[in-house]
Amino acid sequence: MVRLMHSQGFQVFQSNSARIGYQRAHAVTPDLILLDLYMPEMDGLAVLRLLRESPETREIPVIFLSSTSSIDDRLSGFELGAVDFVSKPYMPEEVVARVRVHLGRTLQVTDSKGLTDTDTNLCQDEVMLQAALRILESRLSDPPSVMELARSVGTHDKRLLRIFRAQLGTTVSAYIRQSRMELARRLLRNDSISIEEVAAQAGFRNAANFSTSFRREEGLSPRQYRQRCLAES
């Protein structure tokens, strides 16, 4: 996960010690903290309590990473000011998406002076949309359900569907189909990749299903499309 966050431009400070992590939070004042609920020296709730008591760290958003589904732990965390819980095992892309959502919300609070409610809602929608698109791009061959995708970016499925329609003029499923076709077109321009491999990489069940869908979209079979691209190059 740290490697993924670095690759997306985040500066990450790590600590395996609750005490050192708390000290580092005061030293660098991070934009957001990912905090394990259970640690050897001190549990995450105790660390969060200390963070909230300090003027330097009380406003930093905290996301808990937890292997427990205990509602009592979650309620305790929220009462202390945690902004989110991510259950283990988790996909790194989900954690990064939630980080982006909550960083976006923090920026909205900071910049909210002079913004109307409509402006703020549009900012939230854009943050969620970009997070959702990044997840879909990384999981195009095995995309999450709309409900899973919505949960990953911190909203519910109906709102996410509204955001896609308002911002992109399409549905989530239609966007996935369009993205798969665009990926397939790019791959077909490389004649070293077999049609079967193109179908698999673009997320189709088999080459026959891919050929049918591609012909419906392009009016050509994948092989004919490849031949045309090679002739034009």
State how far the Cα of 86 lies from the Cα of 34, in Å rounded to an integer: 10
Mean pLDDT per segment of 10 residues, for the chain of length 233 residues? 81 84 85 88 88 89 82 84 84 85 65 47 71 84 89 85 89 91 91 93 92 92 93 82
pLDDT at 69: 61
pLDDT at 169: 87
pLDDT at 110: 46
Q: CA angle at residue 215 from 210 to 219, to 5 degrees? A: 160
The phi and psi torsions of 104 (rounded to 5 degrees) equal: -65, -40
pLDDT at 1: 80
Q: In CATH, which of 3.40.50.2300, 3.40.50.300, 3.20.20.80, 1.10.10.920 is domain 1-90? A: 3.40.50.2300
Residues spanned by CATH 1.10.10.60 within the chain? 179-232
Neighbours of 231 (CB within 10 A): 7
Q: In CATH, which of 3.40.1120.10, 1.10.10.60, 3.40.50.300, 3.40.1230.10 is domain 179-232? A: 1.10.10.60
pLDDT at 23: 85
Residues spanned by CATH 3.40.50.2300 within the chain? 1-90
pLDDT at 112: 44
Tell me which residue of 53, 159, 57 sits closest to 101, measured CA to CA: 159
pLDDT at 123: 61
